[in-house]
């Protein structure tokens, strides 16, 4: 039996009840995704993830990757499974039918993506990057570029990468030095520079790899306003789509990382490599963000997915491991019967469900922002998505660190032994608060771009929505009373913290930065609790109506209550931290550290 | 230059001002440790740690350990440094002069131990276990056993181990199956069984290894009341102390662990191995706890020590790495200038200083509990130590997980690369919440044995002491106002949570277990804030008196304030979690997980 069982029941519940699939699946530009169809897709994807992909996880961790003779070698098992995955059409679920995709909502693609990430994160991120790169090319490329690379990327026949970072340019892309000059053919460009941390930067899984590369055209302005984005294939491509000679892109080395060993993280040397300009000259950063915002939701999802896998392993161990006595039992008991072990499992379970709900709801906003027939709705949905994206990315990945560590803890000493597998989840999860923008960057984005810049309009609208659940919670009386109380206090904490922010952010340039992490964690905790409160209302109603599978809804009520009682109180602590301001943070001289 | 600089200034401040060295160093049974002497010892130890031991850390991580031909091979660099360490007399600082130790307070030994743990945890735990085993033998062994092994263990010429765990007996030692039968010589015993997770269970650093082994005499009762403790040497020992034939103890394998790769974690097979009974028959567990309580403080200290090392690495990177612009600067700045990076560094710094102070203060209680001339004081000091031990072990190691992870985060993408070194600290730290009793066990010990069992007497006395600082904080007015407010609220949280505990613990057997983790974290956070508040009062007074080095005291004030403003608010969240009880934790059936 596989050690990963896709949580399709919870996924479907979230997709149907919290992310409102039925409001999305009939929008223009989507193939209609009925609940039955989605259920069938998730069943099949879950089987694939559990039976075929999940076994890759340990293999990739043990084998790692290496560079040999100018090419990157990855685990051979990764290659065969990838090719099957592509030929079965899994990469393109939520890509547009115009370029060979299946045209289903992103919401549905996200659920499939969660399964693949749970099954093998190192392997799954190749597809994440490919589809992100494809989206950037779809949005910013012309028909010629589309014809050249897009369908092959949508299908996964070729993979894509994201080449931003250079040794001196990580978070700060203004420092990018890679250069581009026009090629003699009058159409293309020649790119030269060194890029680092390029995930799946080279491999033999596919016949070609399409690199998106940030570089500076000769004579372009300094800073981010001089950056352009180029499409640089590993192998040159003929006008007929045929694969030509090797382009001048070479993997120099792969990193020796804490986790995701199965994925090659490359240093790539571009030496007069031929490429195509994507989008407008000097607008490269904007093009890149088409890819990045999507990718940030996907990385937030990784926090959910690895935690789910870690939970399943810890749960299985807790149900099997016999250790210690308990009043009322004659013999030693399985450790799940011990209260502190249950606390750890409930903590994992409730946070995973909260994070999943929040991430899927954000995906539904993305679908509506792109496909809703009413332009005004598209705008407001986009604003909500923009607000939620850094929260999903930041909070779900930070929480993923905690949950995978708890998963290890449930195993006691066995958790520290690599063969158990719990340690790998923790090691793999550790990258998620870093790549696609660190938590600090998410927090700065949230507080600066998403809240202060629009004077709190999007936040205010969100708070109104959260408060609207109060009447529904009240209607269920004692059953949901502790949830209602805790959520109410947490909303007050967010309101208080944001009032403080608007009152103090102007005082000096450091205030917003100093409090942004605590603000983000406050917001994330509240959003998670909000989604579980919504779930609890649905569950209470289903139980009252005598719906099938009452055990599922009873469980949901308990999970929501646990989160409300044990996690939501953190918002009070975050609020106090915010309201203490940045003074203690900023006072010391550098020598005093 | 070494990448570890011992924080002797803060250590001496804590030893002098918070742990009151001058009340300890003249007690009977100690060699007088003047401040000058202690300072000289710490200077020398710090040099040794930074220059000689710190370089071992990466070597041990990379080389690991292995079993070859029935013996364990560790990094050769570990061996030569260990032998120098022993010949320079560092292992026996706080051991009694009666058996060759130097008779200094444990408080002083602890500071030296912190340095060695910071420098190389994997290497340092060999001495931790040896000295723990020596203490058990000193307390429970007779003169003959003392003559046979004790001086050699105190000096470090031989090392010691702690053999508790078996595959079916981890936390629950009642399940131990190893058996002992009387030997034909009428004095010794023959021990048979398999032990796992034996740290430094075999190696060639020394001529002999002395195992303390929990086993069951034939015919002894079931459960923990049938366990006896045996001293089993790797090589038989002649009456004249000479080393004889190999005893029947064989290392079968070493574990492949997440961290502390340099230390061998062995499976040991005892096959009719010759051993000596230590202490009374069937009282083995009590003997083991002599060793364990000491070891728990030392493991709590590991949380401090690894965090300190992680902080130094992160700080150096933050001062050196140039990335991003900042208002008021013409060019890109070092990342320590960015508020969120400073927040991470302040979080690390303030927590490390809080944990160090708490751990050293606990060590001072241990010294007084053992050496105070007044028996009544010894009793009350022991009660305080007993109460603080699970808090130090649990809170400092849980916090160590968080801090080493933040240390990695400060590095951004570089943190995920193993060569940077930040990842190793996180991997190494991960064992500390597990060995010597998991956090769950510490929490159960705190709430059950240390609070409920004595009806809160020890806790009440502690709360009185914490409240006593309020008047001193008040005296300093605005300067310490936010510390005073936050500490006051946190004390109320502990009082409220303990009142809740006494009111509800009787309701059913699961309540105390379900809330124990949150109770421990509440207590730890408060204790840390209390110690920093004490430090702030001292600092304010020193500044008012115009003491030398005002920058140190100003820094301490800021650090204490940061902790009060940003960490102490967590006690409110922990209190709410406690007061929500165990219902949501215990409600689900096992199938509902």
ipTM of the complex: 0.97
Within 8 A by CB and 6+ apart from A287, the residues are: A136, A139, A140, A229, A278, A279
Dump pLDDT digits (tens) for B526-579: 999 999 999 999 999 999 999 999 999 999 999 999 999 999 999 999 999 999
**Alpha carbon distance B451, B501 (integer Å):** 9
Give the chain B residue nearest A325 (alpha carbons): B172
The yes-or-no verdict on residue A288 having pLDDT over 90 is: no
Please say if B436 is a catalytic residue: yes
Average pLDDT for chain A: 96
**Alpha carbon distance A353, B175 (integer Å):** 37
pLDDT of residue B509: 85
pTM check: above 0.80 = yes
**Alpha carbon distance B416, A257 (integer Å):** 6
- Is-contact B354 B12, C-beta < 8 A? no
C-beta atoms of A342 and B585 within 8 A: yes
Name the H helices within B438-480.
439-444, 457-475
pLDDT grade, residue A49 (50/70/90)?
very high
Residues of B in contact with A580 (CB under 8 A): 482, 565-566
**Alpha carbon distance A227, A286 (integer Å):** 10
Whether the CB of B207 is below 8 Å from some CB of chain A: the reply is no
Sequence length of chain A is: 593
Dump pLDDT digits (tens) for A216-262: 999 999 999 999 999 999 999 998 999 999 999 999 999 999 999 99
pLDDT of residue B288: 87
Closest by Cβ to A440, choosing from B340, B554, B588: B340
> What does DSSP assign to residue A249?
E
Chain A stretch 404-463, residues whose beta carbon is closer than 8 A to a beta carbon of chain B: 405, 408-409, 412-413, 415-419, 423, 426-427, 430-431, 433-435, 438-440, 443-444
**Alpha carbon distance A464, B2 (integer Å):** 55
The yes-or-no verdict on residue A1 having pLDDT over 80 is: no
Name the H helices within B445-582.
457-475, 481-504, 511-544, 550-566, 570-579
Give the chain B residue nearest A167 (alpha carbons): B414
Within 8 A by CB and 6+ apart from B578, the residues are: B497, B500, B501, B515, B518, B519, B522
H or E element, residue B276: strand B265-278
Domain covering B8-153 in this structure, CATH number: 1.10.540.10
C-beta atoms of A551 and B591 within 8 A: yes
C-beta atoms of B325 and A256 within 8 A: no
B260 to A363, A416, B64, B79: CA distances (angstroms): 41, 10, 8, 16
Residue B455: closest CA among B522, B505, B494:
B505
User: Looking at the domain A159-285, which fold is it?
Assistant: Butyryl-CoA Dehydrogenase, subunit A; domain 2 (2.40.110)
Q: Is the dihedral of CA A446, A451, A457, A460 positive or negative?
A: positive
Report the 10 Å Cβ neighbour count for B536.
28
pLDDT of residue B532: 98
**Alpha carbon distance B118, B309 (integer Å):** 6
**Alpha carbon distance B309, B316 (integer Å):** 11
Residue A446: closest CA among A501, A366, A381:
A501
Question: In this structure, what token pair is assigned to residue A347?
Answer: 């903590």
Q: Is the dihedral of CA B522, B523, B526, B527 positive or negative?
A: negative
Residues of A in contact with B555 (CB under 8 A): 588, 592
> Given B436, B499, B541, B545, which residue is catalytic?
B436
Whether the CB of A340 is below 8 Å from some CB of chain B: the reply is yes
pLDDT of residue B2: 67
pLDDT of residue B31: 84
**Alpha carbon distance B576, B566 (integer Å):** 18
B342 to A325, A443, A513, B516: CA distances (angstroms): 47, 14, 10, 33
Closest by Cβ to A171, choosing from B174, B412, B509: B412
Find the angle CA(A512)-CA(A516)-CA(A518) to the nearest 5 degrees: 135
- Ranges of chain B whose pLDDT falls below 50: none
For residue B195, report the phi and psi dihedrals to the nearest 5 degrees. -115, 145
**Residue for token pair 């499939």:** A112
Closest by Cβ to B434, choosing from A415, A443, A444: A415
Domain boundaries of chain B, sorted by first residue: 8-153, 160-287, 439-585
More confident position, A12 or A31: A12
Q: What is the mean pLDDT of residues A32-39?
A: 92
Residues of A in contact with B521 (CB under 8 A): none
**Alpha carbon distance B540, B481 (integer Å):** 12
Q: What is the mean pLDDT of residues A329-347?
A: 97
Residues of A in contact with B257 (CB under 8 A): 416-418
Question: In this structure, what token pair is assigned to residue B542?
Answer: 């020193």
> What does DSSP assign to residue B221?
P
Does domain B160-287 match CATH 2.40.110.20?
A: yes
**Alpha carbon distance A197, B487 (integer Å):** 45
Q: What is the mean pLDDT of residues A3-32?
A: 94
- Is-contact A159 A201, C-beta < 8 A? no
């Amino acid at each position: 039996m596989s050690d990963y069982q896709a949580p399709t029941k919870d996924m479907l519940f979230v997709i149907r009840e919290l992310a409102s699939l039925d409001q999305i699946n009939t929008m223009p530009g989507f193939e209609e995704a009925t609940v039955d169809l989605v259920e069938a897709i998730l069943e099949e994807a879950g089987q694939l993830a559990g039976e075929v992909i999940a076994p890759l996880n340990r293999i990739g961790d043990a084998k790692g990757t290496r560079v040999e003779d100018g090419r990157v070698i990855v685990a051979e098992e990764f290659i065969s499974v990838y090719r099957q995955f592509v030929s079965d059409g899994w990469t393109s679920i939520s890509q547009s039918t115009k370029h060979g995709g299946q045209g289903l909502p992103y919401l549905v693609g996200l659920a499939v993506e969660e399964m693949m990430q749970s099954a093998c994160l190192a392997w799954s991120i190749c597809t994440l990057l490919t589809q992100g790169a494809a989206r950037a090319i779809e949005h910013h490329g012309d028909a010629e570029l589309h014809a050249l690379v897009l369908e092959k990327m949508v299908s996964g026949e070729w993979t894509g990468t994201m080449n931003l970072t250079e040794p001196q340019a990580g978070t700060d892309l203004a420092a990018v030095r890679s250069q581009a000059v026009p090629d003699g053919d009058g159409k293309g460009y020649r790119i030269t520079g060194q890029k680092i941390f390029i995930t799946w930067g080279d491999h033999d899984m596919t016949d070609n790899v399409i690199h998106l590369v940030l570089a500076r055209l000769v004579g372009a302005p300094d800073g981010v306003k001089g950056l352009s984005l180029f499409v640089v294939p590993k192998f040159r491509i003929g006008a007929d789509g045929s694969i030509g000679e090797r382009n001048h892109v070479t993997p120099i080395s792969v990193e020796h990382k804490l986790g995701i060993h199965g994925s090659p993280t490359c240093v790539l040397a571009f030496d007069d490599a031929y490429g195509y300009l994507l989008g407008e000259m000097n607008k490269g950063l904007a093009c890149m963000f088409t890819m990045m915002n999507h990718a940030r939701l996907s990385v937030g999802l990784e926090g959910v997915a690895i935690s789910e896998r870690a939970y399943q392993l810890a749960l299985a161990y807790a149900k099997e491991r016999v250790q210690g006595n308990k009043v009322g039992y004659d013999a030693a008991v399985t450790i799940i019967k011990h209260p502190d072990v249950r606390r750890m499992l409930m903590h994992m379970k409730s946070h995973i469900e909260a994070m999943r709900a929040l991430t899927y709801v954000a995906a539904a906003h993305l679908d509506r922002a792109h496909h809703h027939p009413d332009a005004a709705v598209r705008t407001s949905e986009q604003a909500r998505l923009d607000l939620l994206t850094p929260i999903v990315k930041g909070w779900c990945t930070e929480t993923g660190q905690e949950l995978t560590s708890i998963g290890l803890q449930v195993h006691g000493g066995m958790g520290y032994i690599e063969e158990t597998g719990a340690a790998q989840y923790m090691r793999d999860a550790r990258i998620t608060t870093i790549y696609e923008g660190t938590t600090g960057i998410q927090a700065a984005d949230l507080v600066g771009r998403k809240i202060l810049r629009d004077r709190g309009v999007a936040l205010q609208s969100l708070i109104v929505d959260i408060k609207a659940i109060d009447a529904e919670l009240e209607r269920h009386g004692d059953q949901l009373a502790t949830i209602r109380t805790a959520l109410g206090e947490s909303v007050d904490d967010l309101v208080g913290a944001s009032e403080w922010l608007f009152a103090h952010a102007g005082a000096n340039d450091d205030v917003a930065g100093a409090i942004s992490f605590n603000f983000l964690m406050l917001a994330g905790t509240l959003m998670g609790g909000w989604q579980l409160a919504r779930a609890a209302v649905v569950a209470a109603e289903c139980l009252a109506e005598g719906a099938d599978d009452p055990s599922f809804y009873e469980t949901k009520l308990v999970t929501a209550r646990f989160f409300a009682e044990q996690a939501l109180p953190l918002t009070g602590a975050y609020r106090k931290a915010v309201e203490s301001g940045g003074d203690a943070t900023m006072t010391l001289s550098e020598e005093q550290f």
